[in-house]
Amino acid sequence: MTDDANKMWGGRFEAGPDAIMEAINASIGFDQRLARHDIEGSLAHAAMLAATGIITDSDAKAIREGLLTVLSEIETGTFRFQVALEDIHMNIESHLQKLIGTPAGRLHTARSRNDQVATDLRLWVRDQCDAAIAGIRALQRALVDQAEAGADWVMPGFTHLQTAQPVTWGHHMMAYVEMLERDASRLGDARNRMNECPLGACALAGTSFPIDRDATASALGFDRPMANSLDAVADRDFALEFLAASAIVATHLSRLAEEIVIWSSAQFRFVSLSDRYSTGSSIMPQKRNPDAAELVRAKTGRILGSAVGLFTVMKGLALAYSKDLQEDKEQVFDAADSLMLVLAAMEGMVRDMSADPDVLTAAASSGYSTSTDLADWLVREAGLPFREAHEATGRLVAMAEAENKELQELTLEQMKSVHKAITDQVRDVLGAESSVRSRTSFGGTAPERVREQVVLWRERLS
C-alpha cells in the first residue's frame, strides 16, 4: 500500500483515488450528522465484544474512553473531518487510532460499515420520529387553544371554495387536530417498525465470531436484532416510511397554510397574522405578507421530493448493500430539517393568529349558506320529500339572488309564493348561528360538540 491509498481499506491498492472519485465517493460532508449515533453504536459494539470475550476488557476500556474523547471533540467543534477518509465511520475510527493506537483496530471486529451505517441511520431516524411527534403535539395544542376560543364563532364552511354551510371556527381548527393525530400515529407506527437492530449483520452474511446481537440491540434501545443479515444491510424502508409520513404531515400543513393565505387576504380578512409571522413589502407600504404560510406550503414540495428521491434510489437495487444507499442520508436530513421547521412555523402562526368573529359571522350569513337548513325545515315541518324541498329552496335562492337579497330578507308572501307550506317559523333556521347550533350529530359543527372535543383533546394532549 502506498501512502496515497486509503488507510482504512487500501491494503490491496497501489494508488489513491482520483480527485473526482474521492468527490463522488465521500459522504463526510453530510453524514457527520450521524456522529453521535455512530459512537453510541460503537460503544455498544465494543462492550459486547468484551462481554463475549472477542476482545479483552482492557481493549474495550481503551476504546470506550477514546470514543468518548472523539465525541467531545466533535461536539466542541475541534474535530477535523477529512474528505480522504470518506465518511463519518472512518473519520471516527481513524482518529480513534491516533488517540489509542492498536486497540482501535479491534473495534471493527465482527462488524462492517454496512451494518454500522444501517444502525446509525435507524437510530437517527428513530430520534427524528420522536422529535416530529413532539412538534405535532405542540401544534395540536395551539389548534385546540384556537378551537376553544372560537368554539361558537360561525364562519362559512366551504366546498369548492364556494360558501356551503356555516361551521364554527372551533370545528375548523379541530379538523386539523384530527389530521395531525393520524400523522403522529403514522410516525409512531414507523418508529415501532424500524426499532430492530441491524448491527451484527456485518457486511451481508453475519459473522463467525460468537457475537451477542441481543446485547447490542438492547443496549441501543432496539426491541430486537433484525432476523436476516441481508435484509438488515440492504433495506431502507424505515427511511422511506419516515419520508412518506413526513410528506403527509407536510401536505396537511400546506392545506392549512393555504387557508391562512386566503383568510389573511384583504378580500377575506378572516384572520390577521401577528407581526412576528408576517413580512412587509419593500415597495408597497400597505402590505403584510403571510410569507411563513407560503413557505410552509412550498416546503411540501421539498419533503415530498425527498421521498420520491429515495424511492427512486431504492427501486431495482439488487441485494445486499450497494453504494447507492449512501444517497439515503441527504434526503432524510433535508426532509427532517424541513419538517421540524414547518411544524414550528405553523405552531407559531396558529398561536399568534387572531380570527375576527364579526367578519366570520358576516361571511357566514351571506352566500345563502343556510339553504340546506331551509330545505331541511321543509322536510321536517312540512313533510316534503327532500328532493322537493331542495327544488323549492333552489327557487327561493334564485328569487333572493334576483333581488340582491339574503334568504332571510324575503317577505313571507314571497316565500309562500314558492311553497305554501312555508310559515314565519322558517326564519328560526335561516340564521348562521341557529344553523350551526342545530348540527349536533356526532362529529358535527355544533358548539357543544366542538367543546366536547376540545375537552377530550386537552386531556389527550396533556
Q: Which residues bind to ligand ARG, rule: CB under 6 A?
A: 27, 31, 87, 113-114, 117, 321, 323, 325-326
15: cell is: 494508488
DSSP 194-247: H-EE-TT-TTTT--SS---HHHHHHHTT-SEE-S-HHHHHH--HHHHHHHHHHH
- Residue among 313 and 353 whose Cβ is closer to ligand ARG: 313
Residue 219 C-beta: closest distance to ligand ARG, Å: 21
Alpha carbon distance 336, 160 (integer Å) = 32
- Residue among 89 and 186 whose Cβ is closer to ligand ARG: 89
- Residue among 119 and 453 whose Cβ is closer to ligand ARG: 119
Alpha carbon distance 331, 121 (integer Å) = 12
Q: What is the DSSP letter of 16?
A: P
Residue 273 C-beta: closest distance to ligand ARG, Å: 42
342: cell is: 414547518
- Residue among 12 and 323 whose Cβ is closer to ligand ARG: 323
Alpha-carbon 231 to chain mean position:
26
Pick the catalytic residue from 160, 208, 282, 462.
Answer: 160
Among the listed residues 82, 89, 81, the one whose alpha carbon sits nearest the alpha carbon of residue 121: 89
Q: How far is CA 433 from CA 165, 221, 424, in A?
A: 11, 53, 18
- Residue among 277 and 321 whose Cβ is closer to ligand ARG: 321
Residue 285 C-beta: closest distance to ligand ARG, Å: 51
Query: Does 160 participate in catalysis according to the annotation?
Result: yes
Pick the catalytic residue from 185, 274, 281, 366.
Answer: 281
Beta bridge partners of 155: 167
- Residue among 216 and 326 whose Cβ is closer to ligand ARG: 326
3-state secondary structure of 304: helix
Helices assigned H by DSSP within 77-168? 88-100, 103-106, 113-149
Alpha carbon distance 174, 168 (integer Å) = 10
Residue 29 C-beta: closest distance to ligand ARG, Å: 11
Residue 226 C-beta: closest distance to ligand ARG, Å: 16
Could you give the residue numbers annotated as active site?
160, 281
